[in-house]
């Protein structure tokens, strides 16, 4: 790994258009960097393009102009198979609504990205998954089916899943947006803990001012532009 | 990408929609069962019906045909070379029915590597004298052992012992002829040959081929008996019947041998062309029905997979977000389709085999078919292989389009869509 890889993620002049129904520019010339170990939040009004930005950064949306660098490597224009692998290995996701695969147990849900990566044996992964669940105090629920958990519990398991491959970066799209105050606080505290205790790099989109205030840095967006970072 | 994980996810998705998966597999199972049972039964019947005639028919038959000499003297005269010669009322020349130099021909044929076996035969026109009435008939002089070995002669001797035919002056009567003569086994009947010789023959058994007309006329005796009846020497033979190792070689070989020996030769294809046509059409129909069943069950799988994908859009989106590529998702759904195909197919083959066993036990007795007691079934492995392969092919194609649809799901759209 190179020395300048202090920069985990860099966006250079990213533009994004929606063509349906008419051409609308949702992102204008977005550029910023995220350094290793930073806990960054992206805030802005609804419709300002922060989620769109997140999905571009997450490599799931490849239809944009501009350049994206992850870990010093240019990832714009790579094949979708390569990007899938990259997501699996280097990015952990936490969504607002879509938490877990209901067909699997909690433990299996956490293990699946690890199994996909195929770096460790099943037994090792099971052990690691239990460790991750322990961070979130969910170890007692490991054998339950995913749909037997409450929303807050599911989200905690989802964060555990995001951590299983020790990703370079965790991305969240309003991870507390769909939770009540109590669960929201729990999840928020877990994010803080990850930042402080594990030095985990994180990029979280939120419109919760309180959440944003607790992060290292806040990127503010307005009308598809980064106005403050 | 490790396949074990793909299998695990496919399995979990199937267990989540257990009922639908089972219904799809049952559809495949049912169609494969029907396919195997139908083809087994149909081809069993085909083999039996063809066997009625083909078993007894030599692949090549050598004989001398009685006909006018094609080389009439006038055609050989140079004076009339360029004229149109019309001769009225030509009669067959006094050619012999017997095959000249038959022993040498038989020896040559037996040494040929393409020939399975050779059996000589004499056909003699006779009258059976029953009281004041004469019944016409044909007594065939046969080499009993060879006839049994090559043409399943024993299958058609319904009562009596065919080996008794080796004794001179014994006869196995066609069932129809025996019924008309009221001749029991052990009775002595009187036969007059076309030349006027009278012979007493002892009935050693009945012969029943299943073709009524044939059984009314044809009876069998040993070659020596018939030679004696006709007053001919031991070299007298009118037919040489040949069974080949490969049936399809019959037409060219008939031509080849016919030219070499200078006698008439008929091959089985020319004589029995209609049987092959019938067989082919029956087989075609059963394949058509079987494959239609499979295609219908394929649509069932297509439907169920489409529904499953619609219900599992969230799951697909999450899988893609956490690093599964389009190819992986595609493989998951193809795996589901093929699993349904394999489970349904294997069960279908087993049930198809059981269905064949059941059909094989259903009584099917008819006077026309003395050797058949139950419905005939063909257990040829070929039908099981075809059924198995087709179940995989149809389920693969049934899974192909839904899987492609699943692999093209855009996770961003699903995740943002709510």
**Does one domain contain both B314 and B263?**
no
pLDDT at A2 over 50: no
Q: How confident is the model at residue B317 (pLDDT cuts 50, 70, 90)?
A: confident
pTM over 0.80: no
CA gap B335, B298 in Å, rounded: 15
Q: What percent of chain A has pLDDT over 90?
A: 7
Q: Tell me, what's the pLDDT at B138?
A: 92
| Within-domain flag for B90 | no
User: In whole angstroms, how far apart are CA A76 and each of A28, A31, A50, A106, B146?
Assistant: 17, 14, 19, 34, 83
Q: Closest to A98 (Cβ–Cβ): which among B15, B326, B415?
A: B415
Give the chain B residue nearest A87 (alpha carbons). B323
Shared domain check, B370 and B320: yes
Tell me the nearest-neighbour CA distance from A92 into chain B, angstroms.
7
Say yes or no to pLDDT of B416 above 80: no
**B87 is a domain residue:** no
Compute the average pLDDT of residues B32-43.
88
Are B309 and B198 within one domain? no
In a domain, B91, yes or no: no
Contact call for residues A112 and A101 (beta carbons, < 8 A): yes
Hey, what's the torsion of the CAs at B330, B336, B339, B341, to 10 degrees? -90
Tell me whether residue B161 is in a domain. yes
Average pLDDT for chain B: 86
Q: Do residues B50 and B69 both lie within one domain?
A: no
Average pLDDT over residues B190-205: 90
pLDDT at B370: 65
Both structure tokens of B167: 């004794």
Say whether pLDDT at B73 is over 60.
yes
pLDDT band at B137 (very low <50, low <70, confident <90, very high): very high
Nearest to A97 among B321, B323, B418 (CB): B418
Six-digit token string for A159 = 């964060």
DSSP assigned state of B128:
E
Question: Which of B251, B267, B283 marks a domain boundary?
Answer: B267
Mean pLDDT across the stretch B209-233?
A: 88
Does B222 lie in the same domain as B74? Answer: yes
Q: How far is CA B244 from CA B46, B60, B115, in A?
A: 21, 8, 4
Q: For residue range A198-225, what is the model confidence (pLDDT) as tens digits?
A: 888 999 998 888 888 888 889 988 888 8
pLDDT in tens, A120-151: 888 999 999 999 899 888 889 888 888 888 88
Q: What percent of chain B has pLDDT over 90?
A: 17
Q: Which of B246, B267, B288 is the last residue before a domain boundary? A: B267
- For chain B, the domain total comes to 2
Find the mean pLDDT for residues B212-239.
Answer: 89
Q: Residue B235 sits in which domain range? A: 60-78+96-267
Q: How much is the mean pLDDT over chain A?
A: 86
Q: Which of B1, B312, B323 to mutate to test the interface with A (most CBs of A within 10 A)?
A: B323
Sequence-distant (≥ 6) Cβ neighbours of residue B86 within 8 angstroms = none
Over residues A19-27, mean pLDDT: 85
Among the residue ranges A52-56, A224-228, B307-311, the one predicted with the least confidence is A224-228
Q: A98 and B418 in contact by Cβ < 8 A?
A: yes
Which residues from chain B sit within 8 angstroms of residue A113, using beta carbons?
322-323
- Encode pLDDT of B328-373 as tens digits: 999 999 999 899 999 999 999 999 999 999 998 988 877 666 667 8
Tokens found for residue B362: 């259903």
Where does the pLDDT of residue A4 fall: very low under 50, low under 70, confident under 90, or very high at 90 and above?
Answer: very low
For the cut 60, the answer to whether the pLDDT of residue B1 exceeds it is no
């Amino acid at each position: 790994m190179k020395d300048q890889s202090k920069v985990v993620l860099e966006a250079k002049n990213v533009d994004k258009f929606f063509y349906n129904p008419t051409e609308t520019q949702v992102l204008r010339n977005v550029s910023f960097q995220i350094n290793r170990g930073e806990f960054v939040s992206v805030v802005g009004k609804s419709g300002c393009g922060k989620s769109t930005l997140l999905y571009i950064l997450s490599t799931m949306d490849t239809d944009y102009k501009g350049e994206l660098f992850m870990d010093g490597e240019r990832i714009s224009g790579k094949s979708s198979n390569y990007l899938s692998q990259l997501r699996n290995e280097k990015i952990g996701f936490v969504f607002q609504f879509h938490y877990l695969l209901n067909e699997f147990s909690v433990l299996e849900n956490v293990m699946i990205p690890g199994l996909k990566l195929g770096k460790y044996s099943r037994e090792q992964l099971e052990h690691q998954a239990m460790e991750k669940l322990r961070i979130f105090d969910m170890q007692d629920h490991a054998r339950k089916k995913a749909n037997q958990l409450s929303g807050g519990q599911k989200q905690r398991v989802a964060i555990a899943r995001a951590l299983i491959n020790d990703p370079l970066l965790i991305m969240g799209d309003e991870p507390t947006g769909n939770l009540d105050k109590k669960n929201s606080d729990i999840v928020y505290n877990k994010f803080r803990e990850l930042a402080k205790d594990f030095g985990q790099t994180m990029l979280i989109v939120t419109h919760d001012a309180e959440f944003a205030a607790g992060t290292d840095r806040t990127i503010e967006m307005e009308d598809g532009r980064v106005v403050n970072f | 990408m490790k396949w074990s994980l793909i299998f695990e996810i496919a399995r979990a998705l199937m267990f989540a929609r257990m009922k639908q998966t089972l219904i799809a597999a049952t559809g495949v199972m049912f169609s494969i069962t029907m396919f195997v049972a139908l083809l087994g039964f149909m081809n069993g019947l085909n083999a039996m019906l063809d066997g009625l005639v083909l078993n007894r028919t030599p692949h090549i038959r050598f004989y001398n045909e009685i006909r006018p000499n094609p080389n009439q003297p006038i055609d050989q005269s140079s004076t009339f070379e360029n004229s149109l010669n019309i001769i009225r009322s030509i009669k067959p020349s006094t050619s012999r029915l017997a095959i000249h130099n038959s022993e040498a021909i038989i020896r040559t044929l037996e040494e040929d590597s393409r020939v399975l076996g050779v059996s000589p035969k004499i056909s003699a026109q006779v009258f059976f004298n029953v009281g004041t009435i004469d019944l016409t008939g044909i007594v065939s002089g046969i080499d009993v052992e060879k006839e049994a070995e090559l043409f399943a002669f024993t299958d058609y001797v319904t009562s009596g012992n065919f080996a008794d035919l080796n004794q001179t002056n014994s006869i196995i009567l066609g069932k129809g002829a025996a019924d008309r003569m009221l001749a029991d086994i052990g009775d002595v009947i009187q036969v007059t040959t076309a030349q006027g010789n009278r012979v007493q023959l002892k009935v050693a058994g009945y012969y029943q081929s299943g073709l009524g007309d044939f059984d009314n006329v044809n009876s069998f005796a040993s070659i020596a008996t018939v030679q004696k009846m006709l007053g001919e020497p031991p070299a007298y033979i009118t037919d040489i019947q040949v069974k080949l190792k490969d049936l399809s070689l019959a037409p060219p070989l008939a031509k080849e041998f016919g030219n070499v020996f200078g006698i008439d030769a008929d091959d089985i294809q020319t004589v029995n062309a209609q049987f092959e046509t019938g067989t082919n059409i029956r087989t075609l129909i059963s394949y058509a029905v079987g494959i239609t069943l499979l295609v219908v069950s394929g649509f069932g799988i297509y439907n169920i997979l489409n529904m499953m994908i619609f219900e599992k859009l969230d799951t697909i989106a999450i899988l893609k977000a956490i690093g599964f590529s389009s190819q992986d998702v595609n493989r998951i759904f193809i795996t589901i389709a093929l699993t349904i195909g394999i489970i349904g197919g294997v069960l279908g083959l087993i049930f198809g085999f059981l269905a064949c066993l059941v059909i094989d036990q259903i009584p099917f007795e008819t006077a026309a078919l003395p050797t058949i007691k139950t419905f005939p079934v063909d257990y040829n492995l070929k039908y099981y292989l075809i059924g198995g392969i087709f179940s995989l092919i149809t389920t693969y194609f049934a899974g192909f389009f839904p899987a492609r649809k699943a692999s093209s799901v855009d996770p961003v759209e699903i995740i943002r869509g709510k």
